[in-house]
Amino acid sequence: MPNIVPPMGRIEGAPNWQTAYPMILWVMITYYGDRELLFYHHESLVRYFDFLESSYNKTGIKKFRTGFGDWVPPPPHPKSDPHLMGAFAFLGDMKLGIDIFNYSHHPDAETQLNRLKELLGKASTEYHDDFYNKTSGVYMSGLQTEQALSLYLGVVPADLQTSILSSLVDDIEVTNNGHTTSGIIGIKYVMEVLSKLDRGDVALDLALQTTYPSWGYMVNSQYEPATTVWELWDSDTAGPGMNSRNHHMFGSITSWFYKYVAGIQPLDPGFSRVQIRPNLLWHNNFTAKIASPYGDICLNYLKQDGDYDNEDHSIIFVYEVILPPGTSGTLHIPIAFDGKETALKNDNNVEIFIEESGDLVWFDWKFGSSVNGVLDAVENGKSVQLDLSNGKYVFKVTASNRVISTAKMQGTAKIK
């Protein structure tokens, strides 16, 4: 797969560029659920993975093809190890292929699925053995990209995951004072890994950063304030060559907002079943909308202080959710108090009540009753998980650091 279509000069593409082929297919499946697409592309995909397997057999993981690597990290920071970047593309393609063939109904899909699982298992062990530095306790030189990609792939042994995540967070927050050192490949996965591993607060710091290098720096540049995403972190001071002011290079931040801030992601291909798992953190309000084949999936969120009888402090969260006809889903309501997420346990001295349009659906740490399409509610980690059919919902969540009587809750005004 070439880097540019039609190819200009070099035919063989860079590993992290040619991965666009399986990635675009998987995105089409994820958002539209079109299995016929996989029948049409099956033979081409098999040849693509034949090529990758042949490349791997020639070099192994340690010397896998390189290409552009983690393109354009912010000066003066160096690029990540090129072979680690190539290996990431290879393992990432194996994971994509497994997802694709697992969903495909092609008669040969199961054979290809088992083939890629075997390759992934073998190559994952090699990746850790080849790139983990036992002396320093990090992958390669310790750059943010190198740690994030390793965590994303799932190749980090369980007993090392906490230390690798800590190294990533420390490098961002302490060594670089809340800034990235990543290029276009790394920054996408830094944001996703932090969010998946319960450090979305650090990802949000990066998203809201306003000094170089950051997206906020682009917007607030004293030389040319950006209205579109730049090709380079330092486009305003770099030379004119390869320096677009309207480029997708660092555009992965847009998907991060709706996937991890609003938390809207498909549970089934095509959005027939949806997960909405917002990340509260410091947000006072936000609105998110995803266009699905069934219609718009929407979340409006508001946080406000509450006060019952002028006694102990309480916080009120309002969630307006729209699931279009033909869909169903889950809404995960994270419980936060004083700006921090709180596990749903009575020993934290926090009481939680959830109403839907004035009707109680969660109190005394259990599901109240099925009302207005709310089918069930259960504790799930640091959130209450509501099982919803399609429809429009308005949830009012009251979190208090004292016990509030059910009678008082039932006497509160309905949300209009």
Give tens-digit pLDDT for 74-89: 999 999 999 999 999 9
Lowest mean pLDDT among 148-162, 277-291, 319-333: 277-291
Reference 184, options 261, 242, 239; nearest CA is: 242
Q: Report whether pLDDT(407) > 90.
A: no
pLDDT reported for residue 282: 67
Distance of CA 354 to the CA centre of its chain: 27
pLDDT reported for residue 416: 28
Q: Of the ranges 5-9, 75-79, 282-286, which is most confident?
A: 75-79
Give tens-digit pLDDT for 229-267: 999 999 999 998 888 888 888 889 999 999 999 999 999
Give tens-digit pLDDT for 16-58: 889 999 999 999 999 998 889 999 999 999 999 999 999 999 9
Q: Report whether pLDDT(281) > 70.
A: no
394, β-bridge pairs: 320
Q: Write out the residue limits of the CATH 1.50.10.10 domain(s) in the chain.
A: 15-256
289, β-bridge pairs: 298
Beta carbons of 100 and 30 less than 8 angstroms apart: no
Q: Report whether pLDDT(98) > 60.
A: yes
Give tens-digit pLDDT for 166-204: 999 999 999 999 999 999 999 999 999 999 998 998 999
Percent of the chain whose predicted confidence (pLDDT) is above 70: 90
Residues 100-121, mean pLDDT to the nearest whole number: 97
Beta carbons of 320 and 299 less than 8 angstroms apart: yes
Question: How far are the Cα atoms of 33, 59, 263, 324, 384 from residue 294, in angstroms, in the given order?
Answer: 12, 46, 18, 6, 26
Q: Report whether pLDDT(271) > 90.
A: yes
Q: Report whether pLDDT(396) > 60.
A: yes
Q: Report whether pLDDT(345) > 60.
A: no
Q: Report whether pLDDT(409) > 60.
A: no
Beta carbons of 383 and 333 less than 8 angstroms apart: yes
pLDDT reported for residue 402: 56
Apex CA 211: angle with CA 210 and CA 214, to 5°? Answer: 70
Record the pTM: 0.90
pLDDT reported for residue 334: 82
pLDDT reported for residue 337: 56
Between residues 381 and 201, the one the model is more confident about: 201
Q: Name which CATH class applies to 15-256.
A: mainly alpha
* Burial zone of 55 (CB within 10 Å; 0-12 exposed, 13-18 middle, 19+ buried): middle
Phi, psi for residue 316 in degrees, rounded to 5: -115, 130
Q: Write out the residue limits of the CATH 2.60.420.10 domain(s) in the chain.
A: 266-410
pLDDT band at 349 (very low <50, low <70, confident <90, very high): low
Residues 6+ apart with CB under 8 A from 392: 320, 321, 322
Q: Which stretches of 289-405 are DSSP H helices?
A: none
Q: How far is residue 94's CA from residue 84's CA, in Å, rounded to a whole number?
A: 15
Q: How far is residue 250's CA from residue 259's CA, in Å, rounded to a whole number?
A: 16
Q: Burial code of 66-105, b = ≥16 C-beta within 10 A, e = fewer?
A: bbbbbbbbbeebebbbbbbbbbbbbbbbbbbbbbbbebbe
How much is the mean pLDDT over the chain?
89
Architecture of domain 266-410: Sandwich (2.60)
Between residues 3 and 225, the one the model is more confident about: 225
